C-alpha cells in the first residue's frame, strides 16, 4: 500500500461478557485492517465471525453487555485534518483489565463514563465522516418518519445546508442518484410503504447524503430477494465508479465482495485470516491461498465441480464443521478443526500455536502455518 | 372514521348507563324513601310518592324516561335537593378534574424521571433503588396515606385549620389544594406500573435497529426515540390509568372533604339519589372514553400506518 490509509484498525479486540456462562465472548479478537482512500475493502466470512462487531466498534455502536474494546482505530478523515486520529483513544481510562497468561480474565468498567466518552469522541465522526448502512433496511429506517425527512436530516446535520427546502432538494437529488423510482412520491412515504429494496436505496441515499469520507456497508444485500440483491450490488458498483467513496463492505456473500471489492479481508473466528488484493485472494487457482478462503470459494454454487462441499437442507453448500466458538477459542490455529490441508509436518504447530498474520506477497498477508512468509504484525 | 368513533362512544355510554341503572335498581333501597324519612312507608305511600312525582313504576320505564331526558340534554334533578344535576356536576366537576389531572401529573413527575433514569442506567444501584422505592410507594393504600397526611399537617403540625373543603382556607390555601393531588398522585397504585411500562418501552426502543441508525448518522437519539419510546407509552399509560385515578379520587375526596364529584357521588349513593349517580357515572364514562379517543388520535397522528388498525 503506497498511500497512507484512510482508516487503519490495529489489533482491535471487542469482548462481551456473558453473565450466564461467566466467560468472555471474544467477538473480535485482534483484528488489523487498513483501507486506502478511494478503495473498497471487502470483509468476508461466515456468519458469527465478528464482521459486524468490527464495524460497530469503529463507530462506538456496539450494544449489549458491558465488555472490552481495545486496540486502535486510526482515522484520517475530515477535511485537512491534522493527521490520523485514534477513535478509541483514552478509552482505557474507563476500564481496568485483569490479565492472566496474556488473556483478559476480568474487567471493571465505568460504563456511564465510557459511554459519555464515546459519544463525545465520535460526535463529529458519526454520519459526517463515517456513514453506515445496515442489513434489514426496513427496520433500520425510523418507521415514524418519512423517508425524505430522514435523508434531509442527514443533509442538514452534516453538510451545512440549513434551509429545509434546500435540504429537501438535495435529498431528492440523492434519491434520484440511488435510482429510486418516482423520488418525489417516495420522499413523503414512510418506510412501511416501501419494499426492502427501496428501503435499502433510501438507506444508501441517507448515508451518501452527508458526504462522508468513509462508508461502512454491513451486509447491504442480505435479507433481500435475489433479484433485488443483484440490483443493489449493481447500484453500489455504479456509485463506486461515480463517486469513488471509500467503502468498508461487509458481507458473508463472497460473490458480492468479488464484484465490488479492491481489497479483501477474510475473517474467521473473530480474526483476520487473509488480507490482500481482491484478485489474489479471490481468483480461483491463484496461489497461495488460505485453506479457509479456498473452502469459502469452493462452497460457492458456481464451482460445483469440487467434491469437498455438500449441500445442507438444499440451501447453499457450506464448509464442513462448526464455526469456531469464540468463548473457548482453541489453542493453535482457529481453523484447524475444519482444515483439510493440514499435513503431518505441520500438524503439531497447527494445533498448538496460533499462526501470525504473515506477508506472503506484496500487500498480501495470511495467517497459516502452510504459508509462513516473513512474519510481521499479528 | 370519526362518525364510527362517535357512534361507538354513544353505544358505550348507553351501555354504562344501563348497567349502572340496573345495579341501582337491583340494590335494596328506594330513592324516594328519602322523602319519606322518619316514617315507616307502606307500599301505598311509596306508590303515591311515585305518582306525585310522575315517575314510572317499572325500572325500565324509569330508565326510558331518564334516557328521554338525556336525549333532550337534561340530566334531571337531584331527588334529595331538587337542584338540577347538570348544574351540580358543572359546579363540582372542575374540582375533580383538577384533582385527577393534577394527580396524574404528580404520578408522571414521579414515574417519568425514574423510568428515564433507569432506562439509561439499567445496571446502576441508584436505578434499582429508585425502582424499589417506586414499587413500595405504589403499594401504599390511598386512604391510609390521606389520613396520615391529614394527621401530620392538620393535627400534628397545625399547618392549617381543620375545615370543610367548601370554605376558602385562610392560611396555606395553596398547600391545602396541593395535598390531595400529591396523595392521590403518589398512592393511586399506578406509579410503579407507569414506571415499568415507560422504562420497558423506552429500553426496548433504544435497542431497535432504527435507533442504531440514528446513532450511526450522528442524529440525536432522543429525536428518533421520542415517538415510540416516550410519546406512545405515555399516551397509553395516561389513557389506561385514568379509570384508576378516578376511582382513587372518590376516596381522596372523602378523606380530604374535597368538594368534587367523588364526594358528591358517595353522598348520592348513600341517599340513593339515582339521577345524581347516573349523571356522574355518565360524565366519568365520557371522560374515560375521551382519554382513549385522545390516545387513538395521537396514535394516528404519530404514524398514518396505525390509523387503519
Ligand atoms: N451484543 C452482543 N453480546 C454478546 N455477543 C454478541 C453481541 N453481538 C455479537 N455477539 C457475538 O459476537 C460474534 C460475532 O458477531 P457478528 O460480528 O455479528 O458476526 P458477523 O460476522 O456475522 O457479523 C457472534 O458470535 C455473536 O453472537
Ligand atoms: Mg453481521
Distance CA A336, CA A356 (A): 14
Confidence of residue B285 (pLDDT cuts 50, 70, 90): very high
Question: What mean pLDDT is reported for chain A?
Answer: 88
Tell me the CB-side half-sphere exposure of residue B193, using CA atoms within 13 A.
Answer: 11
Least reliable range by pLDDT among A28-32, B169-173, B304-308: B304-308
- Classify residue A79: in a domain, yes or no: yes
Q: What is the widest separation between alpha-carbon atoms in chain A?
A: 70
Distance CA B68, CA A29 (A): 79
* Residues of chain A that touch chain B, judged by Cβ-Cβ distance less than 8 Å: 59, 61, 63, 66, 111-112, 123-128, 131-132, 134, 136, 139-145, 153-154, 157-158, 190, 192, 203, 206-207, 210
Q: What is the mean pLDDT of residues B138-154?
A: 86
State the total domains in chain A: 1
Q: Which domain holds residue A74?
A: 7-129+212-375
Least reliable range by pLDDT among A223-227, A231-235, B47-51, B287-291: B47-51
**pTM for this prediction:** 0.86
Q: What local confidence, expressed as pLDDT, does residue B208 receive? A: 94
The proportion of chain A whose per-residue pLDDT surpasses 70, expressed as a percent, equals 91
B216 in contact with A, Cβ within 8 Å? yes
Return the DSSP state at A47.
T
- Would you say domain B97-308 falls under CATH 1.10.3720.10? yes
Least reliable range by pLDDT among A158-172, A175-189, A293-307: A293-307
Strand pairing of A246-251 and A23-35? unpaired
Q: Are B275 and B78 in contact (CB under 8 A)?
A: yes
pLDDT tens track for B48-82: 766 766 667 778 888 888 888 888 888 888 888 88
Distance CA B285, CA A133 (A): 49
Confidence of residue A44 (pLDDT cuts 50, 70, 90): very high
pLDDT tens track for B74-92: 888 888 888 899 999 999 9
Q: What local confidence, expressed as pLDDT, does residue A97 receive? A: 82
Residue nearest to ligand 1 atom 23, measured at CA: A52
Higher pLDDT, A101 or B78: B78
- Classify residue A202: in a domain, yes or no: no
Distance CA A296, CA A290 (A): 10
Of the candidates A27, A6, A29, the residue with the CA atom closest to the CA atom of residue A17: A27
Q: Do A190 and B305 touch (CB under 8 A)?
A: yes
Q: What local confidence, expressed as pLDDT, does residue B194 receive? A: 93
Burial class (CB in 10 A: 0-12, 13-18, 19+), B9: middle
Question: Closest to A192 (Cβ–Cβ): which among B215, B228, B305?
Answer: B305
Question: What mean pLDDT is reported for chain B?
Answer: 84
Least reliable range by pLDDT among B165-179, B186-200, B252-266: B165-179
- Classify residue A164: in a domain, yes or no: no
Of the candidates B234, B240, B238, B247, the residue with the CA atom closest to the CA atom of residue B280: B247
Q: Do B303 and A143 touch (CB under 8 A)?
A: yes
- Determine phi and psi for B67, rounding to 5 degrees: -60, -45
Residue nearest to ligand 1 atom 10, measured at CA: A27
- Classify residue A174: in a domain, yes or no: no
Q: What is the mean pLDDT of residues A241-251?
A: 93
Q: What local confidence, expressed as pLDDT, does residue A372 receive? A: 86
Question: Closest to B302 (Cβ–Cβ): which among A140, A144, A154?
Answer: A144
Q: What local confidence, expressed as pLDDT, does residue A95 receive? A: 86
B304 in contact with A, Cβ within 8 Å? yes
Residues of chain B with CATH 1.10.3720.10: 97-308
Residues 6+ apart with CB under 8 A from A299: A309, A316, A317, A318, A319
Helix (H, G, I), strand (E, B) or coil at A373: coil
Q: What local confidence, expressed as pLDDT, does residue A329 receive? A: 79
Residue A86 pLDDT > 70? yes
Our mutation pick for probing the ligand 1 site, out of A25, A45, A334, counting the most ligand atoms within 8 A of Cβ, is: A25
Residue A39 pLDDT > 90? yes
Distance CA A139, CA B211 (A): 10
Q: Do A127 and B219 touch (CB under 8 A)?
A: yes
Q: What local confidence, expressed as pLDDT, does residue A167 receive? A: 96
Q: Are B183 and B251 in contact (CB under 8 A)?
A: no
Q: What local confidence, expressed as pLDDT, does residue B41 receive? A: 60
B123 in contact with A, Cβ within 8 Å? yes
Q: What local confidence, expressed as pLDDT, does residue B54 receive? A: 67
Residue nearest to ligand 1 atom 18, measured at CA: A52
* Helix, strand, coil abundance in chain B, percent, nearest 5: 75, 0, 20
Strand pairing of A67-75 and A85-86? antiparallel
pLDDT tens track for A123-155: 999 999 999 999 999 999 999 999 999 999 999
Residue A264 pLDDT > 80? yes
Q: What local confidence, expressed as pLDDT, does residue A305 receive? A: 43
Of the candidates A205, A327, A5, A29, the residue with the CA atom closest to the CA atom of residue A220: A205
Residue A304 pLDDT > 70? no
**CATH number for the domain that contains residue A336:** 3.40.50.300
Residue A306 pLDDT > 50? no
Q: Do B218 and A158 touch (CB under 8 A)?
A: yes
- Contacts of residues A120-123 at CB distance under 8 Å and 24 or more positions apart, as own/partner, are A121/A60, A121/A87, A121/A89, A121/A90, A122/A59, A122/A60, A122/A87, A123/B218
Q: What local confidence, expressed as pLDDT, does residue B97 receive? A: 94
Distance CA A323, CA A337 (A): 10
Residue B27 pLDDT > 80? no
pLDDT tens track for A328-343: 777 899 999 888 888 8
Least reliable range by pLDDT among A191-200, A320-329, B82-91, B235-244: A320-329
Q: Do A144 and B212 touch (CB under 8 A)?
A: no
Report residues whose beta carbon is within 6 angstroms of any ligand 1 atom: A 16, 25, 27, 45, 47-53, 63-65, 326
DSSP alpha helices (H): ranges in chain A? Answer: 51-58, 111-122, 137-140, 147-158, 164-177, 183-187, 196-209, 226-243, 254-260, 278-282, 291-298, 347-352
Residue A345: enclosing H or E segment and its boundaries?
none
Residues of B in contact with A132 (CB under 8 A): 213, 216-217
Q: What local confidence, expressed as pLDDT, does residue B39 receive? A: 62
Amino acid at each position: 500500500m503506497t498511500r497512507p490509509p484512510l482508516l487503519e484498525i490495529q489489533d482491535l479486540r471487542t469482548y462481551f461478557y456473558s453473565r450466564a456462562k461467566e466467560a468472555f465472548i471474544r467477538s473480535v479478537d485482534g483484528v488489523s485492517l487498513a483501507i486506502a482512500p478511494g478503495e473498497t475493502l471487502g470483509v468476508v466470512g461466515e456468519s458469527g465471525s465478528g464482521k459486524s462487531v468490527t464495524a460497530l466498534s469503529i463507530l462506538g455502536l456496539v450494544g449489549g453487555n458491558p465488555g472490552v474494546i481495545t486496540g486502535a482505530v486510526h482515522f484520517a478523515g475530515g477535511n485537512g485534518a491534522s493527521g490520523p486520529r485514534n477513535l478509541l483513544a483514552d478509552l482505557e481510562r474507563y476500564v481496568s483489565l485483569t490479565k492472566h497468561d496474556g488473556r483478559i480474565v476480568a474487567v471493571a468498567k465505568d460504563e456511564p463514563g465510557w459511554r459519555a466518552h464515546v459519544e463525545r469522541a465520535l460526535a463529529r465522526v458519526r454520519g459526517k465522516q463515517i456513514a453506515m448502512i445496515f442489513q434489514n433496511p426496513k427496520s433500520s429506517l425510523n418507521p415514524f418518519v418519512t423517508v425524505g425527512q430522514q435523508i434531509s436530516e442527514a443533509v442538514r446535520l452534516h453538510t451545512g445546508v440549513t434551509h429545509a427546502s434546500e435540504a429537501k432538494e438535495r435529498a431528492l437529488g440523492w434519491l434520484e442518484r440511488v435510482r429510486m423510482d418516482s423520488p418525489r412520491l417516495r420522499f413523503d412515504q414512510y418506510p412501511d410503504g416501501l419494499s426492502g429494496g427501496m428501503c435499502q436505496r433510501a438507506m444508501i441515499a441517507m448515508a451518501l447524503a452527508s458526504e462522508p469520507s468513509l462508508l461502512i456497508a454491513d451486509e447491504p444485500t442480505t435479507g433481500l430477494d435475489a433479484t433485488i440483491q443483484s440490483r443493489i450490488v449493481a447500484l453500489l458498483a455504479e456509485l463506486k465508479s461515480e463517486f469513488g467513496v471509500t467503502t468498508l463492505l461487509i458481507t458473508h456473500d463472497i460473490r458480492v465482495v468479488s464484484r465490488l471489492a479492491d481489497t479483501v479481508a477474510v475473517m474467521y473466528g473473530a480474526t483476520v485470516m487473509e488480507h490482500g488484493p481482491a484478485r489474489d485472494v479471490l481468483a480461483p487457482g491463484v496461489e497461495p491461498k488460505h485453506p479457509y478462503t479456498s473452502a469459502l470459494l469452493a462452497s460457492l454454487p458456481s464451482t460445483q465441480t469440487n467434491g469437498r462441499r455438500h449441500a445442507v437442507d438444499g440451501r447453499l453448500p457450506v464448509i464442513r464443521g462448526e464455526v469456531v466458538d469464540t468463548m473457548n477459542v482453541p489453542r493453535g490455529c482457529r481453523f484447524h478443526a475444519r482444515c483439510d490441508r493440514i499435513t503431518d509436518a505441520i500438524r503439531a504447530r497447527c494445533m498448538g500455536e496460533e499462526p501470525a498474520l504473515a506477508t506472503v506477497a506484496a500487500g498480501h498477508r495470511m495467517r497459516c502455518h502452510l504459508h509462513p512468509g516473513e512474519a510481521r504484525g499479528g | 372514521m370519526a362518525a364510527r368513533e362517535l357512534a361507538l362512544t354513544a353505544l358505550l355510554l348507553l351501555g354504562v348507563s344501563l348497567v349502572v341503572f340496573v345495579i341501582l335498581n337491583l340494590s335494596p333501597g328506594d330513592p324516594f324513601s328519602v322523602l319519606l324519612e322518619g316514617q315507616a312507608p307502606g307500599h301505598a305511600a311509596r306508590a303515591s310518592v311515585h305518582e306525585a312525582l310522575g315517575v314510572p313504576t317499572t325500572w325500565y320505564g324509569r330508565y326510558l324516561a331518564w334516557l328521554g331526558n338525556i336525549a333532550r340534554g337534561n340530566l334531571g334533578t337531584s331527588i334529595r335537593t331538587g337542584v338540577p344535576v347538570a348544574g351540580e356536576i358543572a359546579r363540582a366537576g372542575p374540582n375533580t378534574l383538577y384533582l385527577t389531572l393534577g394527580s396524574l401529573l404528580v404520578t408522571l413527575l414521579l414515574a417519568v424521571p425514574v423510568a428515564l433514569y433507569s432506562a439509561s442506567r439499567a445496571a446502576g444501584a441508584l436505578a434499582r433503588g429508585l425502582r424499589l422505592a417506586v414499587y413500595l410507594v405504589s403499594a401504599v393504600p390511598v386512604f391510609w396515606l390521606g389520613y396520615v397526611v391529614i394527621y401530620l399537617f392538620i393535627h400534628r403540625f397545625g399547618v392549617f385549620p381543620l375545615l370543610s373543603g367548601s370554605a376558602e382556607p385562610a392560611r396555606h390555601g395553596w398547600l391545602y389544594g396541593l395535598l390531595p393531588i400529591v396523595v392521590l398522585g403518589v398512592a393511586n397504585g399506578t406509579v410503579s406500573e407507569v414506571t415499568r411500562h415507560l422504562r420497558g418501552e423506552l429500553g426496548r426502543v433504544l435497542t431497535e435497529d432504527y435507533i442504531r441508525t440514528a446513532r450511526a448518522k450522528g442524529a440525536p437519539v432522543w429525536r428518533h426515540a421520542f415517538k415510540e419510546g416516550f410519546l406512545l407509552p405515555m399516551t397509553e399509560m395516561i389513557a389506561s390509568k385514568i379509570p384508576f385515578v378516578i376511582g382513587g379520587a372518590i376516596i381522596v375526596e372523602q378523606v380530604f372533604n374535597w368538594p368534587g364529584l367523588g364526594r358528591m357521588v358517595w353522598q348520592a349513593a348513600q341517599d340513593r339519589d339515582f339521577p345524581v349517580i347516573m349523571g356522574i357515572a355518565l360524565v366519568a364514562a365520557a371522560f374515560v372514553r375521551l382519554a382513549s379517543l385522545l390516545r387513538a388520535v395521537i396514535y394516528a397522528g404519530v404514524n398514518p400506518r396505525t390509523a387503519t388498525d
